[in-house]
Each structure stands twice: as structure tokens, then as C-alpha cells.
Chain A
């Protein structure tokens, strides 16, 4: 008896949707079991981590706040991932975008009027795009792997952040701590839309999800991106320029990361300090894969991951599990989804040797 993987004629739609759901459920089961083994109240911990943030209204704001940047960044990343262009430097683009937006804010002191905000957001997008332009240039001109170049630039971006907030952009009223001056009210967004629990970033996430959905499924551009990823030769034949795809996808994902960065700075923190890099750029990669690179899937995956973050903290306060467990859950979900990827493209066949063939083989060897 053997297990064989047979390539499917077309990727299984059922599996594409079922596997992420199964991954989350399996993670919950596995997590509960492991916690029980180590001596915690397993089911309770899982409940607090996965269920409480969904059913407890007072947690919704936290979930949406956390989900917004994850979704925004992951939408951009998914586009590139479909073209097999791996931008893992979104964290760096997030930081540079936020810094660019902040720079605009500081360049116009005492800004009044509503145009400060669009300017800052625009600068944030451009900043992220500029930071992604470097790897795009290196890839198209010098065939440098974007995996490596985007990653290296994350750590350069971190140092740029440290330099600026500790030096030229340090808050003169900040008691010498490494942080920027706070944004003025004209330069800030409210952290929730008045009267709701919805942060402005989440509204942007919803809009962008629809935009990307249209782009991916209804536009020639979306088609070209997927073709470049799935069948590069066919793409070339069809006139889709791989080089232009590299530029466009990296620019878009960089711009999205930068947008997420400046939105976060303007609506949640009000300034930029050492705690600003929150790892969203890396977590968004998980979101992108968990969402199967599809905008709607990414939207849902972003919510799920936000739930685990928020739930992980609740579990820590209530069940006293260490807060490292949130990371373990996220990694486990990602492992499951990546492992189950094969089920989308391949059918599992269990081959039983036919009795006649077995006897013939036995006879032949006798």
C-alpha cells in the first residue's frame, strides 16, 4: 500500500477554502491538547484566545485595530505573491512609509486645514513605494533575489528609524527620549470613528479589499500578475512583461505597507517611537498565505490573526498562559495551511496492490 500524490487537472476550489478553515480548527484542537499536557486549562485557554475576542463586544475594537494594518499590507503582498514575487520586507516599507508621512508633518509645522492628512498619507504611500523600489531595481537590473534584498532592507529601515527619532527628529519636549514630537490634531486621525468601535484604518482595509478583489479577478492586470506567477513562459508569450510585473507588484505592496504604517502612526499612536515596529510586516505574510492570496481570504485571515493576538493577551491575563503562545498558534496555523497546500494541487491516492499482481510478483520471485 502506497500513498501517491496525483496532480489535479485544476486546483481544487473546495480545498482552497476548506484548508484554511481546517488549519484554524486543527490549531485550536492541537493547542488545547498541548496546553492540557503542560498543565494549563487547555480548552479554557483556547476559548479565551480564539472565541472571546469574537463574542466579547469590548474586544472588537482591539481586534479591528490589529486587523487593519495586517489586511492592508497583506493585500499588497498577496498580489506579488501571486506573481511569485516575494516581498518579505514589508516591515521595512511600513516603517519608512510612516517616517515619510511624519517627515511631511514636521516639515509643515502648525499645519491647519484638512489637507495635512491627505498629504501625510500620500507621503506614507510614496515612502513605502520608494523603499520597495530599491529591491525592484536590484531585481530587474541585477537579478538580485527580492527575498534577500527586501529582508536586508528591513534592518536598514530599523536603523534609519532609530537614527531619526534619536537625533534630527527627536521631540524637543520629550525629555530627551527617542521619539518624534506628537502629531498635531490636524495631523491625526481619531483612533475610532466617533460612536463606533471601527478604527479608520479598518475602513480603509474594507475599501482596499474590494479594490484588490476587483483588480485581481476582473482586470487584465490581475490576470497578467497571476499568469506571470503560474506560467512565466506563457506570460512572456502573451506579452506580459515580467520586469514590469516586478516593479508594479513591489511598488504596490510597498505602497500598501507604507499606507498601513502612516495610518497606524496617525490614528493609534500619535507619534513614532521605538515601539513603533510591531512586526505587522512579517505577520502580514502569514495573513497573505492563510488567505490563500485572495483578497477576501486575506480579509478574513487578517481578522483571524488579529483575534489570536488579542485573544493571546486575554488568555495571559485570565488563564495565565505565557504570552509566547500567541506566536506558537500563529506559526502552527501557518504550518497547517502550508502543509495542506499540497491538497489543493494534488489528489491523495492510496494505492493498494491488486491481489493478482501480488501473486504474480510472488510467483516471479519464487
Chain B
């Protein structure tokens, strides 16, 4: 017996004809399903935790219109593909893949699910239904660099990174340039540990930096190991991505905060309105996706004032840390005096500023 009887055929046709009259509101009756692919655990008080916070803000802000799920601990290899496919098959129409290592998988799966919208964090490959988004993390480095430059007594500051990729390089350079701006004698000692995850090695790297004289250490790694060493050695450090003061109450001066909420809300709204386009979004402090944690008691008033000035300048556009003259380690001029570095150049940065010892 066919399901299409004359009665329900007329009903559905009538309904179908009425739909355009109702506009997109008709579809809003069914909440938009949004999916998130996380690299780590939501409780990591770091990268993934920040994305999860953003997801929760999304759900709160667009209550009723949006339903959001997540999958955590997804490895950055071929096994991410089935996870992304699962999310698409479960009806998620807007999916955020929150780590660089998901780039090719996102492109691959997006081809198979053309009516879902995909957003890849910190990548550079786009498609008709794949956009990318990034945050100007280096703006936070400018603030921490300023603080480091003013508070270092040995004029040697340290940086523990993972791989020499543009995002990390930008961070090292911004940190160094901002520190040098308030203290021209600053040198930055850099250690790249060549792995994404190895807390013991991060700790050993921080110890080594402390041993050779660094008294303020920044980091771009996935665990608070570096901060724990700073606390033990009674030197200073900064959190990255989230407030990490719980791991190092005395050493933690401040942290850059990843505040993804505003971006997720805006993108979900775009899908609901039908205005979503694959974009290459690079927001920062001005747009509210990057912030700074409260200063610890150890930060003196004059340092706070200087840091606040940097933040204000960043927000209103009057301050840009990558303003020339900037020379690289060989002395070659990379940015002429008075000029601001272009976004495109920042994204492929593979040279370190003068004063970085790598």
C-alpha cells in the first residue's frame, strides 16, 4: 500500500507551496545541529577547553535555535574522517574542526557532504562549503611580551614551542618584538621540542631555559608543564589559550584567552539566516575572540598600565606589534620602518626576529 494517498498528497503539496511564503522561518522550527571536533579532552583547561566554552556560549545565546554536539580526543590522522562523516550523517549542518591537523580530512569529508557547512580552525584550505577561521593569537603575545620585557631582570626571556609553523613563529616574534620595545636589551631563547605532546619534555625544555638564564618563559605547547617548572624555579610564565593560574599561582602573570563564543555565534546565525559564505576569518581582540586573563598580584602597576595600553591600542587599531622596522636574525630588513606587516606575510612567516636565539 503506497504511503502517498490522494489525501496526504494534497496536504503535502499545499504545505510545500506554502513554504516559500513562510520564508526561512519554516526551517527554523527544526533547530540547527552544530558539530564540534575536538583534539583534546574538554577538561584540559587549555585549547579544547576554550573551544568547549565557546560551544556552550553558542548554545546559551541561541537557545532553541541551535543544538550542538561534540566529539573529543579525535586524533589528527585518517581516523578523523569517520568522525566527521558521523557528525554529518547525524544531521549536523555546521561543523567546526578545531585543529590544524584536521585540514585535509575536512576538505575530503566536505566533498561528500556538500550541504553541510564546514569551518576549519587555523588552516588555509577552503572549498565551496569549507571556510577557515583563525585568531590573532600574536596580539596576546604582544601583551605578554611587554610584561616580560619590563619584568625580566636578566634581560633573557624564554619560549617553549612545538614546531616551527607560522602560528608559533608569529607568537615568538610578537613576544620578542613587544619585549624589545620596552627593553631593547631583551633576547629570547627559543626551544622547539618537535612534538605536539610530551609534558616531560616540555618541562625539561623549560628547565633548560631557566638554567641558561631565562626568568620569564612563554609557551606554545599543550600542557601546563612549562608553568609548573616556572613555579618551581620561582620565575615567571604565561598561560596560553586559557587562564592556567591554578597550575602556577605565583608564576602565572597572565594568559591570553581564546574566546571562541562570539565567532561561533556569528557563524551559526549566518547559517540560520542563509547568509553563510566560505570565508577566511582572522579575528582578534577587537572582535572579542581574544582576551587577556586578570593580572596576578606580582604584576606591578606600571607594568599593568603598559600592558593595558597595548590592549587598548590593539582594540582600536592604533597599535600593531608587526610594525616596521623589523629585521630578522641575519639582520635583513623584513618590514620597512613605519609599515605594518600584511596578513598574507604573517601567515607564511618562517623567519625569527633579531634577538631570538633559536
Q: Which residues of A contact B (CB under 8 A)?
A: 58-59, 62, 65-66, 162, 166, 175-178, 191, 264, 268-271, 273-278, 309-310, 313-314, 316-317, 322-324
Contacts and interface: CB of A to CB of B under 8 A. Distances in A.
Nearest to B71: A317
14 contacts: A62-B81, A162-B194, A175-B348, A176-B169, A177-B163, A178-B165, A270-B104, A273-B104, A275-B78, A278-B75, A310-B82, A313-B82, A317-B71, A317-B86
A66 B82 CA distance: 10
Given A176-B348, A176-B350, A278-B77, A316 B165 contact: no
B262 interface: no
Interface in B250-265: none
Contacts of B86: 313-314, 317
Contacts, number: 75
Contacts of B213: none
B8 interface: no
Contacts of A309: 79
B78 A317 contact: no
Nearest to B86: A317
Given A278-B79, A317-B86, 4 more contacts: A58-B89, A178-B163, A268-B81, A274-B76
Contacts of B87: 317
Q: Which of B78, B81, B196 has the most C-beta atoms of chain A within 10 angstroms of its own C-beta?
A: B78
Interface of B: 69, 71-79, 81-83, 85-87, 89-90, 100-101, 104, 108, 124, 163-166, 169, 194, 196, 347-350
B82 A176 contact: no
B71 A313 contact: yes
Given A62-B82, A317-B90, A275 B77 contact: yes
Contacts of B348: 175-176
A302 B35 CA distance: 30
Contacts of A62: 81-82, 85
Contacts of B79: 66, 278, 309, 313
Contacts of A269: 78, 104
B139 to A, nearest CB: 20
A204 to B, nearest CB: 17
B350 A316 contact: no
Contacts of A166: 163-164, 194
A274 B197 CA distance: 12
Contacts of A324: 73
A271 B124 CA distance: 16
A199 to B, nearest CB: 11
Contacts of B349: 176
B78 A278 contact: yes
A313 B89 CA distance: 13
Contact of A274 (B69, B82, B196): B196
Nearest to B70: A317
A316 B80 CA distance: 13
Given A310-B82, A313-B82, A175 B165 contact: yes
A347 to B, nearest CB: 42
B69 A264 contact: no
B130 to A, nearest CB: 16
A177 B103 CA distance: 12
Contacts of A178: 163, 165
Contacts of A58: 85, 89
Contact of A275 (B72, B75, B89): B75
Q: Which of A59, A65, A271, A313 has the most C-beta atoms of chain B within 10 angstroms of its own C-beta?
A: A313
A271 B347 contact: no
A177 B90 contact: no
Contacts of B108: 191
Q: Which of B101, B104, B347 has the most C-beta atoms of chain A within 10 angstroms of its own C-beta?
A: B104
* Nearest 6 pairs of A and B residues by beta carbon: A275-B77, A62-B82, A275-B76, A176-B350, A278-B77, A323-B73
A271 B104 contact: yes
A313 B37 CA distance: 12
B83 A313 contact: yes
A191 B81 CA distance: 12
A310 B89 CA distance: 14
Contacts of A176: 164-166, 169, 348-350
A317 B101 contact: no
A63 B331 CA distance: 54
Nearest to B164: A176
B201 to A, nearest CB: 14
B101 A273 contact: yes
A268 B164 CA distance: 26
Given A166-B163, A269-B104, A273-B101, A317 B83 contact: yes
Contacts of B78: 65, 264, 268-269, 275, 278
A51 B91 CA distance: 21
A189 B34 CA distance: 32
A270 B124 CA distance: 16
B22 to A, nearest CB: 32
Nearest to A59: B82
A191 B76 CA distance: 18
Contacts of B350: 176
A323 B75 CA distance: 10
Nearest to B350: A176
A269 B81 CA distance: 10
A271 B77 CA distance: 11
A62 B164 CA distance: 33
Contacts of A273: 101, 104
A324 B74 CA distance: 11
Nearest to A323: B73
A336 B75 CA distance: 28
Contacts of B81: 62, 268
A316 B71 contact: yes
B85 A274 contact: no
Contacts of B169: 176
Contacts of B85: 58, 62
A206 B285 CA distance: 55
A176 B124 CA distance: 12
Contacts of A278: 75, 77-79
Nearest to A280: B78
Contacts of A271: 104
A63 B348 CA distance: 37
Contacts of A316: 71-73
A175 B166 contact: yes
B288 to A, nearest CB: 26
Q: Which of B77, B85, B350 has the most C-beta atoms of chain A within 10 angstroms of its own C-beta?
A: B77
A30 B154 CA distance: 59
